[in-house]
A and B are shown apart, each in its own frame.
Chain A
Amino acid sequence: MTHRLMWLLGATLLLVTPVASAEPFVFTAIPDEDETRLQKRFQKVADYLTDELDHDVRFVPVKSYSAAVTAFRNDQVQLAWFGGLSGVQARERVPGSRAIAQGVEDTEFRTYIIANEDTRLETDAGLSDEMRDLSLTFGSKSSTSGRLMPEYYLREHFGEPPEETFSRVGFSGNHSRTISLVASGAYQLGAVNYAVWENEVEAGEIDTDAVRVIWKTPRYPDYQWTIRGDIDDRFGDGFTEQVQQALLTMDDPDLLESFPREGFIKADNDDYAVIKEVGNELGLLDP
C-alpha cells in the first residue's frame, strides 16, 4: 500500500516545476555538427551574452533540428541559431518572431557535393551523369545546406527527384557524420555545409585524398539568429535591440572562429524568402 502512495507522491512532485527567481534568457542552436564543438562554441556565446546583457543567459543543447524549432516554438528558448529552413519553420510558427543577425558568410552560403575516391570522380568534376546510380547522403532532413538547397540543385540538374537519380538516398543526421560516412565509403556521395567542410579540412581532420569536393552549389542565404517577438515585454524594453547589438558587435576572433564566421551582420525575415520558396517547392513547408 505504501508503494502506491509513493507513486502518487512521485507523480505530484513531477508536476511541480521549479520556479526560478529571475527568468533566464535561454537560447539553443541546431545541432549541425559535432556536439562537443557546439557545446564549447555556444557556452562561450552564453558567457559573452551574459556579460553584454547583464542578464543570466543559458545555452541548451538539443538533439535534432526539429527539437530546436520545437523548443523555440514552445517558448522554452527565446533565441536560436537556426539554419535557413529551420529558421523559416520556426518563424512561421511563432508570430512576431524575427531574424536579427546572420553571419557575414550566410548571405552567400553554399553546399559542397563530396565523393569518395572510389567513385573516380575528380575534384570539381561538376554534376554529371556519372553520378547516376551512386549512393548519396544528405545531412539532417531539415538542413538547408545539407538537404534543402543541394536537393533543389540536384533536382534542377537531373530533372527528377534524387531518389530516382541515385541508387540510394540517406540522411546522416549532421555534416560531420556526412563526411565520415563518405570517407568510409558507406555512401559514395554526400552533400555538406561548406563552412563545416573548410573548417574540418583546416583542422586536418579530413583525408582529402579519400574524399573530394566534386561540385559547389550556387550561393544562397543560410544561418541566422532568430528571436521571439515577445521579448521586450518580458525582459524589458529594448532587450531585443540589445541582443541584436551584442551579436553584431561580437568581435572576439576566438568566438567567431568557432562558428566559423567573419562576423555578424543585420538580417531580417525577407532575406530568407528564397528559402521559403524552395521549401514550399520541395514540399518541406506547408504553403
Chain B
Amino acid sequence: MRQSASIRLSLAFVLVAFVCLLFADLQISTSNPWQELGRLALGVVTPDFAAVDYLGKAVIRTLAFAFVGVALGAGGGFMLALCFRHRVIRAGCAIIRAVHELFWALLFLQCFGLHPLTGVLAIAIPYAGIFAKVYAEILDETDPEPAHALPASSGRLSTLLYTRLPLAWSHLVSYTAYRLECGLRSSAVLGFIGMPTLGYYLESSFAQGHYSSVGALLLIFYVLIATLKLWVRPRLLPLYLMAAPFLLGSGLPIAWSNVSRFLTQDVIPAPIRSGEGIAGLGPWLGDLLTDQALPGILNTLLLTQIALVLTGALALLLFPLVSSHFTRRLSGTAGHMVLVILRSTPEYLLAFILLQLWGPSMLPAVVALAIHNGGIIGHLIGQRSNTLRLRPDAPHGVERYAYEVVPRLYGPFLALLFYRWEIIMRETAILGILGVATLGFYIDSAIQEIRIDRALVLILITALLNIGIDSLARHLRARLRLRYRANSRQGC
C-alpha cells in the first residue's frame, strides 16, 4: 500500500514536471557552439598551473573562508540548536538558511564592502541556520534514558554535557566535517562576486576563455574536496582553526558608518525614504510584485519542478556507478570519480558551459541543477545500496537493478529527493545571476541598480518560497513515512 502511495506521488511529480515543460523556455538556439566547446575541452585536459599567478593564495583564501565561516556557523548553530524548541528560534533559523550564501554576500557587500567579514558572515549565517536544525535533530535522536537516569536537579547544562552531547558527539563531528566540504564549495562560489577565493579566478578565466586556467582551477578544487578526509584530522583541526582567521587577507577597511547607513537608509523602501510615506508604499510594492516577484516566482517554480524530476531520474541512473552490486573494484573507483566531479562542479559553471552549448534558455539551468543534484543523490543511494545484502542467487544486471535493488531503495531515494527539493530551489538563485529569469535574476538586477530595498523584499519572498517548499516536503515525507537520518543526508 505504502509502495503504491510513493509510486503515485512520483507519477504526480512527473506529471507536474511535464506540465511545467509546456510553459518553460527550453529552446536550443546556438548555431556554432563547437569551436568554443572544443577549446574548453582542450583546456580542461591540458590544465596550466603556471597560468594562474595567485593559485596558492586563492587556495589558502578558499580554505580560510571555509574554515572560519563553518566554525562560526557551527558554534552559532549549536547554541541555536539548544533552544530549537522555541518557535521563534525555529522560524528564525528557517529564514536565515532559506537565503542563499550569495545573497547574504551581496547584502554584506553593501555594508562591509570587500572585507573578509562579508565572506565569512555570508557562510556563517546560513550555515548556522542549517547547523541549528540538524544539530537539534541529532541531539533529539540520542537515547533519552541516560538523561532520565540522572538525579533530579542535575541542571540542564550538566545534563546536556554529560548525556546528550557525548552520545551525539560522533554524529555531530561527522556532520560538521562534511559541512566543511560544503563550506569549501560555498567559499569558492563567493569568488564569483568578488571574494578572493578560487571562484574569483575561475570566473575570470572562464569569462576570458582561458580554459587551461579553468582546467587547473577545477582540478585543484576537485583534489581539495576529494582529499578532505586525508588532511582534516581531529588533531589538526585546532591548528587550522587558529591559523584560518589570519589567512583571510585584509581586503578593504570597513567604515562602520556604512553599516548604519545600510540599516537606516538602504533597506528602507524608496517611497518612505523619499517622504511619500505609507501611501506610496502600496503602488511601490504592487509594481514590484507584479513586474518582478510574480514572473520570478513562476520561473523559479518551473525550473525547480523540472530540475527536481530530472535530478531523480539521473540519480536512479547514476547510483549503480558506485554500487558494489553493479561494479567491480576498478569500475567502482572510476564511478566514484565521475560522481565526485558531477557533484563538486559548481552549478554556475555547469550552466555556463551548457549555455555555450545550447544558448540562452532554461535548459542549461535545468540540466546543470540535475547533474549536480543527481550526482549527490546518486552517490548517497549508491552508498546505501552497499549496505543491502542480496541472496546469493539474486539475478544480475538489469533484473537485479529492477527487482532487487531499486524497490528496496525507492523509499530512501524519495526521502532524499524531498530533502533536496528546497535546496534545488535555493540553487536556482545562482542561475538567476547567470540570466535565467528566476527570482535570483531580479534580486541581482535590484542589487545592480543599487536598490537594496527592492532586493530585500525579493530575498524575503525567495526565503518564504523556500520555507513553503520545505514544509510541503516535510508534510509529504511524514505522510509516506519517509525518513533519512540527519547525519546521512550529505550533499551541499
Contact = CB atoms under 8 A, between A and B. Distances in A.
Q: Do A and B share a direct contact in the complex (Cβ within 8 angstroms)?
A: yes
A71 B112 CA distance: 9
Interface stretch (B148-156, B352-360, B400-408, B459-467): B352-360
Given A75-B255, A141-B444, A10 B244 contact: yes
A64 B106 CA distance: 11
Contact of A70 (B29, B207, B450, B451): B450
Interface in A44-84: 60, 62-67, 69-71, 73-77
Contact of B208 (A34, A187, A285): A34
Interface size range on B against A: 35 or more
Interface residues of A, number: 61
B450 to A, nearest CB: 6
A70 B109 contact: yes
Contact of B116 (A4, A14, A140, A168): A14
B144 interface: no
B255 A141 contact: no
B115 interface: yes
Counting from the closest, the 3 A-B pairs by CB-CB distance are: A185-B31, A76-B252, A10-B245
Contact of B360 (A11, A66, A70, A137): A137
Contacts of A70: 109-110, 113, 450
Interface string A243-287: 000000000000000000000000000000000000000001110
Interface in A202-231: 210
Contacts of A34: 207-208
A7 B449 contact: no
B448 A14 contact: no
Contact of A173 (B36, B207, B447): B207
A208 B194 CA distance: 33
Contacts of B115: 17
A118 interface: yes
A132 interface: no
A26 interface: yes
Contact of A142 (B117, B207, B448): B448
A172 to B, nearest CB: 8
A186 B237 contact: no
Contacts of B254: 17
B448 A65 contact: yes
A15 B30 CA distance: 49
A18 interface: yes
A3 to B, nearest CB: 7
A176 interface: yes
B212 to A, nearest CB: 13
A108 B270 CA distance: 33
A35 B238 contact: no
B131 interface: no
Contacts of B200: 63
B114 interface: yes
17 contacts: A14-B248, A17-B115, A17-B250, A18-B250, A63-B194, A63-B200, A65-B448, A66-B449, A74-B113, A76-B252, A77-B252, A135-B29, A141-B444, A184-B35, A186-B29, A186-B360, A285-B449
Interface of B: 25, 29-33, 35-36, 68, 71-72, 74-75, 109-111, 113-117, 120, 192-194, 200, 203-204, 207-210, 237-238, 241-242, 244-246, 248, 250, 252-255, 258, 270, 274, 355-356, 359-361, 435, 444-445, 447-451
Contacts of A13: 245-246
B33 A186 contact: yes
A138 to B, nearest CB: 10
B438 to A, nearest CB: 14
A203 to B, nearest CB: 13
Contacts of A14: 68, 116-117, 120, 245, 248
B72 A7 contact: yes
Contact of A10 (B68, B113, B237): B68
Contacts of A4: 75
Contact of B449 (A67, A142, A168): A142
B238 A3 contact: yes
Given A9-B245, A180-B209, A186 B359 contact: yes
Contacts of B238: 2-3, 6
A177 interface: yes
Given A64-B194, A70-B109, A185 B30 contact: yes
Nearest to A58: B252
Contact of B356 (A65, A67, A118, A186): A186
Contact of B113 (A76, A89, A172): A76
A170 interface: yes
Most chain A CB atoms below 10 A, which of B116, B117, B210, B245:
B245
Interface of A: 2-4, 6-7, 9-11, 13-15, 17-18, 20, 26, 34-36, 60, 62-67, 69-71, 73-77, 89, 93, 116, 118, 135, 137, 140-142, 168, 170-174, 176-177, 180, 183-188, 210, 284-286
B434 to A, nearest CB: 9
Given A142-B449, A185-B359, 8 more contacts: A6-B71, A13-B246, A60-B252, A63-B203, A64-B193, A140-B448, A186-B359, A188-B29
Contacts of B120: 14
Contacts of A170: 360, 435
A10 B194 contact: no
A9 to B, nearest CB: 7
A141 B449 contact: yes
A18 B301 CA distance: 45
Given A10-B72, A76-B113, A180-B209, A185 B449 contact: no
Contacts of B209: 180
A100 B238 CA distance: 52
Contact of B207 (A26, A168, A174): A174
B277 to A, nearest CB: 16
A77 B113 CA distance: 10
Nearest to A92: B450
Contacts of A176: 207-208
Given A69-B450, A177-B207, A6 B356 contact: no
Contacts of A184: 30-33, 35-36, 356
Contacts of B359: 135, 185-187
Nearest to B445: A141
A189 to B, nearest CB: 12
A3 B207 contact: no
B237 A3 contact: yes
Contact of B450 (A17, A60, A75, A89): A89
Most chain A CB atoms below 10 A, which of B36, B193, B360:
B360
